[in-house]
A and B are shown apart, each in its own frame.
Chain A
Amino acid sequence: MSTLSVLFDASHVLASQRWDEFLQQTINGLTLGSVYALIALGYSMVYGVLKLLNFAHGDVYMVGAFIGFGMIQWLGFRGAGDTWAPVVSTWFVLLVVLAVSMAGTAGLGVAIERFAYRPLRDAPRIAPLISALGVSFFIAYSMQLMFGSQQRDYNAFGIDNGKLFLDGVDIGNVRVPLLRIIIIVSAFVLMLLLWLLVTRTRTGKAMRATSFDREAAAMMGIDIDRVIVFTFVLGSALAGPAGVMFALRAPASVTMGFVAGLKGFTAAVIGGIGSIPGAMGGGLILGMAEAYTQGYISSKWSDLFVFVILIGFMLFRPQGLFGKADIRKV
Chain B
Amino acid sequence: MAREALLELRGVSMAFGGLNVVDRLDLHVDEGEIVSVIGPNGAGKTTLFNLITGVYEPIDGDIVFAGESIAGLEPHKITQKGIARTFQTLRLFLNMTVRENVMAAAYGHTKAGAFRSMLRTPGQRREEREIRALAEERLAFFGERLMGYRWDQPAYSLSYANRRRLEIARATATKPRLLLLDEPAAGMNPRETQEIAELIGKLRTDGGYTILVIEHDMHVVEGISDRVVALDHGVKIAEGTFDAVATDPRVVEAYLGTGGMARK
Contact = CB atoms under 8 A, between A and B. Distances in A.
Interface of A: 327-330
A328 B55 contact: yes
A327 B16 CA distance: 8
B50 interface: yes
A330 B16 contact: no
B252 to A, nearest CB: 29
A329 B17 CA distance: 12
A330 B46 CA distance: 9
Interface in B22-79: 46, 50, 55-56
Contacts of A329: 16
Contacts of B55: 328, 330
Contacts of B16: 327, 329
Nearest to B56: A328
A327 B59 CA distance: 13
A25 to B, nearest CB: 42
B143 to A, nearest CB: 31
Most buried by B among A327, A328, A330: A330
Interface string B1-24: 000000000000000110000000
Nearest to B47: A330
A328 B46 CA distance: 14
Contacts of B46: 330
Nearest to B49: A330
Contacts of A327: 16-17
B91 to A, nearest CB: 10
Contacts of A330: 46, 50, 55
8 contacts: A327-B16, A327-B17, A328-B55, A328-B56, A329-B16, A330-B46, A330-B50, A330-B55
B128 to A, nearest CB: 29
A279 B50 CA distance: 34
Contacts of B17: 327
A325 to B, nearest CB: 11
A330 B45 CA distance: 13
Given A327-B16, A329-B16, A330-B46, 5 more contacts: A327-B17, A328-B55, A328-B56, A330-B50, A330-B55
A219 to B, nearest CB: 18
A329 B19 CA distance: 14
Nearest to A329: B16
A323 to B, nearest CB: 16
For the complex of A and B, list the 8 residue pairs with the smallest distance between their C-beta atoms, beginning with the closest.
A330-B55, A330-B50, A327-B16, A328-B55, A330-B46, A328-B56, A327-B17, A329-B16
A277 B111 CA distance: 48
Interface string B210-252: 0000000000000000000000000000000000000000000
Contacts of B56: 328
A126 to B, nearest CB: 16
A65 to B, nearest CB: 43
A124 to B, nearest CB: 13
Nearest to B53: A330
Contacts of A328: 55-56
A329 B16 CA distance: 10
A122 B16 CA distance: 27
A328 B17 CA distance: 12
B19 to A, nearest CB: 11
A300 to B, nearest CB: 39
A246 B50 CA distance: 50
A328 B54 CA distance: 12
B78 to A, nearest CB: 14
B180 to A, nearest CB: 13
